[in-house]
Amino acid sequence: MALRPVSWFALHMTIRRELLEHEGHLRLGVELLHDPRRNKGTAFTLEERRALGLCGLLPAQVLTEAEQIERSLENIRRSTDPLQRYIAMAALQDRNESLYFRVLQDNLAELMPIVYTPTVGRACEEYGHIFRRPRGLFVSLEHRGRIGECLRNWPVRDVRVIVVTDGERILGLGDLGANGMGIPVGKLNLYTACAGVSPHVCLPITLDVGTDNTALLEDRFYIGERRPRLRGAEYDEFVEEFVTEVAKAYPHVLLQFEDFGNKNAFRLLDRYRERLCCFNDDIQGTAGVALAGLLGALRLTGGALEDQRVLFLGAGEAGTGIANLIVAEMVSRGADPATARRCCWLVDSQGLVVASRSGLAHHKQPFAHDAAPAGDLLAAVEALRPTALIGVSGQPMAFHEQVIAAMTRHNQRPIVFALSNPTSKAECTARQAYEWSDGRAVFASGSPFDPVEYRGRTFVPGQGNNAYVFPGIGLGIVATAARMVPDEIFLVAARTLAAITSANDLATGCLYPPLAQIQQVSLAIAEAVAEFVFEAGLTELERPDDLGAHVRSFLWKPDYPEYLTES
C-alpha cells in the first residue's frame, strides 16, 4: 500500500495541540508574553501570574502602567538619535501594543515626529538595515493571480482601514520601493493615536512592484523585489487584482492610497473612487489641512478667500490637490468656477504653468492660465504678486531670501506655507520665513519647527500635518460604513479644523491647534464627517439618535485587558 505524503504543517499543528492540552496554562503564559495585543509585561498582577501560568516567567516586581510608561520614555529618550528612538518605539509596539499607544497618545508632541515625519523618512531610507519584524502585508509581483490568498493570510477578517503604498514617491525622498512600508505603518499608528481607530482593524500594505532606485537595487539588505519598477498595462492589472480582492475580503474597508507617483496617483484615484471607499491622502488629505491653514491665516490677514492669489511651487499631487479644494471652497461660497481657478497658479520644474505651454499633464491644465511665461519662482512672484505662497515641491530652500522679500514687498502679511516633508526638504525654515519678512509672514510647515524668538516676540509655527485631518475622517468613515469618500468630506474636515483653531493660537502665529489637542480635533472632524455621510445618503445604516455617542462608541483605548474578574 502506498504511503500518503506527510503534511508537515498538519503534523506541527497536531503536536502543538497536544502540547497545549498537556501543558495547559503554562503554555498560555508563554504565549501571552509573546502576543503584543495581550501582553502586559511586568504589569501582570500576582494573581494573574498564578492563574495564567506566568510564575517564574516574569521578575518579582509588579509595576503599574504609569511606572511602565516612565520606564519606556526613559529608554526612548536615552538616545539623541531620532532613528534610534524610532527603533525603540517599534520594539515597544512589537512586545506591548497597549503600552505603546499609551506612551504615544500621552506624548504626541514629542513622539509624532519620531513615529512619523520627519524621522519616518530616514527610517524608510534605511528600512532594510533596521528591519526587525514584519508588520503588515508585502504584496509582491510573485503573488500575481493569488493576491486574495495573501489577504487571507492576515489574521483579522474585519479590516476597516488599509493604507497602501507602492513606494514610488515616499515623502519628498522619491522611489524607495518596498522600504516605503514605514509610511503605511506610521499612518495607521496615527489613526489610532490621534483618532482612536482600533489598531486591530488596521492593515498596512506595500505593493512591491520593484524599484528604479539603483542604490537600493545594489543594497544587499534591501527587502524588496530586485527588479525595475513595473509599469504600463502590467502594473494596472496588478493593482486591479489587488483592489478587486480587497473589496472581496473587506467589504467595509476604507482604502487610503499613499505616496504613489504622480503618473499613477491621479489615475488610480479617478479609477477606483466610485468603486469602493477610498481616497488619496497626498492629493486630498494634504488639501484639507492646507485649506484649513489658509482659512486660519485669513483670520490674521483679514482678507476674503475669493480675493486671494495663491501661487504653488510644485504642480503634482499635493499642489493640484490643494488648488482644487481651494476652488471647491470658493465655489461653495458663490464664486464662478473659472474665476476661482484663476486664483490658483502653479510653478513646476519648467517655470510658471501657462496656457501657451504644450504637453501639459492633465492635472495641471485647469490651472494653466493666459499669462507671460516666468522661468522661475522669483519671476513668478514678481509678475503675479500672490498673497499666498505654498511649497509642495520637495525642493529644499526654494523659498530663498529674495523670494520671501518679494512676498513681503507685495503684502503686509505674506502667507508662506513650506509644506514639503521631511524637514530636510522644506522650502524654508520657520526662522528664515520670519526673519526675511521682518516678522510679518504668516507661516506654516509640513514638518515641525521650534518656536522662533524674533525682535522680542515669540512665533509658534504651525505644522500643517495631514494627521490633523485623515485620522478623524477615517473614524467618521468607520463609524458610518460609508460607501465612498467624496471631495466634500475634505471641505467638511478643513472647515471643522479651521474653526477649532483658537484666537490665542493665531495670536502666536500658529494656524493649527496644539498637537496635544489632536484627539479632540479628530473626534470633532469624525462627527462632522458622520453628519455629512448621513445627510448625503452615503451609507446603508440608519442615522442614530445620538450621532456623537455613536461615533465615540468606536473609540479604542489602550487599556490593558482584565484577565481576572469577580464572579
Q: Which residues are catalytic?
A: 116, 187
The three grid cell numbers given for residue 316, joined into one nine-digit string = 503634482
Q: DSSP 3-state assignment of 440?
A: coil
Q: Which alpha helices (H) appear in 311-369, and where do they start and end?
A: 317-332, 337-341
For residue 87, give the nearest of 48, 44, 132 by alpha carbon: 132
Q: DSSP 3-state assignment of 104?
A: helix
Distance CA(123)–CA(424), nearest Å, equals 14
For 189, the enclosing helix (H) or strand (E) is: helix 182-195
For residue 431, give the nearest of 448, 413, 449 by alpha carbon: 449
Contact 192, 101 (CB under 8 A): yes
Q: CA angle at residue 172 from 111 to 388, to 5 degrees?
A: 90
Q: What are phi and psi of 344, to 5 degrees?
A: -115, 130
What contacts 535, CB < 8 A, 6 or more positions away? none
Distance CA(490)–CA(486), nearest Å, equals 8
Distance CA(557)–CA(547), nearest Å, equals 20
Distance CA(236)–CA(239), nearest Å, equals 5
The three grid cell numbers given for residue 300, joined into one nine-digit string = 490674521
Q: CA angle at residue 131 from 128 to 137, to 5 degrees?
A: 90
